Amino acid sequence: MDRREFLRQVALWSAGLSVGVPHFTIGEALAADDRLPLLAHATGKNYRDLVDRVLSPLGGMEKFVRPSDKVVVKPNIGWDRNPAQAANTHPQVVRVLVERALDAGAGEVLVFDRTCNEERRCYVNSGIQEVLAGIKDKRLKFFHPDERKYVPVDIARGKAVRRLDIYRDALEADSYINVPVAKHHGLSRLTLGLKNSMGVLGGTRGAMHHNLGQKLADLATVIRPKLTVIDATRILLANGPQGGNLNDVKVLDTVVASVDPVAADAYATTLFGLRPEEIESTVAAHALGLGEIDLKKIKVITA
């Protein structure tokens, strides 16, 4: 099923026009091309600058956002924690990405996350609400997800999960930019890009945790970011995913970006001294053909 047909079905279902059980499938080719995936990483104290530096070898934001595109920038705002505690994406990283998407001529830029703690507290305490309020551009929409806009989607390629409720805007985005923070997680060991996509799911997400790695890979067959930017400006080494103890935080001043979501996760895993194969979701996603796990087959550029 091609993307246009899929979007038509999303619209029809949302408008209550399609009959019967909502039924969507995505079966298009998963791996984009055979070339070595490009991955850029940069280190530095100026976080605004960092984002620009990693974008540039990938072709700049213009490569990912065309004029009048509907863009989703999806940070991790899951927890009622402040930026220093490393539980949410750093507000400056989010801000620069939003600004660059606007600069590239996006029709609209949507920023949201379905939080774990109370929604408003997360948005405020993460610092993201404040920095985005500083961007005076009507195309930027920073909002709390609307209960009505979750659409059931059949995960045709899924091995562990068959159907998920997914936020409509995430499905409809012309350009979906995933901006996770790299941190520790009790069950999956780390939460990176693939795990961050859980923020567009509706319903009870707890059940995702049974066979989490495979389910995240299944979700990644539908939520396919054009760009993954992993915030490792500071990483959480223990008591994740929400942390709270500054002793568990390590400042790395690093940002990683790639077109390949699996490669981005695989590389970011090494920042914790772990091997990519130790993260189940990365392994499962690679097995589904969603991207590269082998670091030797990833072209890493220090920007």
Partner 1 sequence: MKTTRKIPLYYWRRLSQLACLALFFFLFIRTDYSGSDTIEYAVNILFRIDPLLALSASVAAGFFILLMLPAVGTVLLTLILGRFFCGWICPMGTLLDGCRNVTPNTQTGKKRTYRPLKFYLLGFLLVGAWFGLPMAGYVDPFSILVRGLALAVDPALNALSATFFTYTYQEAPAWVNAVTEPVYAFLKASVLPFNQKYYDLALLSLGILLLIFFLEKLERRFFCRNICPLGALFAVTARFSLLRGKAGSTCGTCRNCREVCRMGAIDEDRTISMLDCNLCLDCIHHCPGNKISFRFGGQSRTKPFFALSRRTFVGSLAVGALLPFFLKSRTLARQSDELLIRPPGALPEEEFVGRCVRCGECMKVCIGNGLQPAFLQAGLEGMFSPILKARTGYCEYNCTLCGQVCPSGAIAKLSVPEKKKVKIGNVVFDKNRCLPYAKGIPCIVCEEHCPTPDKAIKFREATVENSRGEKVTVKQPYLIDDLCVGCGICETKCPLPGASAVMVTSAGESRNPAKALPDTGSAWQVI
**Residues found near partner 1 in the complex (CB under 8 A):** 14-16, 80, 116-121, 124-125, 129, 147-148, 185-187, 204, 206-207, 209-212, 239, 241-245, 248
Burial of 247 per CB tally in 10 Å (0-12, 13-18, 19+)? exposed
By beta-carbon proximity to partner 1, the closer residue of 43 and 211 is 211
Residue 151 token pair? 């659409």
Q: How far is the CB of 258 from partner 1 (least distance, A)?
A: 26
By beta-carbon proximity to partner 1, the closer residue of 94 and 256 is 94
Q: How far is the CB of 199 from partner 1 (least distance, A)?
A: 14
Separation in Å, CA 129 to CA 119, 137, 177, 180: 11, 14, 18, 16
> Could you tell me which of 215, 220, 225 has the C-alpha nearest to residue 162?
215
Residue 274 token pair? 């772990």
By beta-carbon proximity to partner 1, the closer residue of 66 and 185 is 185
Q: How far is the CB of 130 from partner 1 (least distance, A)?
A: 10
By beta-carbon proximity to partner 1, the closer residue of 166 and 227 is 166
Q: How far is the CB of 238 from partner 1 (least distance, A)?
A: 9
Separation in Å, CA 98 to CA 51, 92, 133, 259, 261: 11, 10, 12, 17, 19
By beta-carbon proximity to partner 1, the closer residue of 90 and 168 is 168
By beta-carbon proximity to partner 1, the closer residue of 242 and 254 is 242
Torsion of CA 259, 260, 263, 267, to 10 degrees: 20
Q: How far is the CB of 74 from partner 1 (least distance, A)?
A: 19
| Dist. CA 296–CA 121, nearest whole Å | 42
Residue 60 token pair? 């700049």
Q: How far is the CB of 150 from partner 1 (least distance, A)?
A: 12
Find where tokens 């923020």 sit.
Answer: 199
Cα 136-110-37 angle, rounded to 5 deg: 115
By beta-carbon proximity to partner 1, the closer residue of 133 and 287 is 133
Q: How far is the CB of 170 from partner 1 (least distance, A)?
A: 18
Q: How many CB atoms lie within 10 A of CB 138?
A: 6
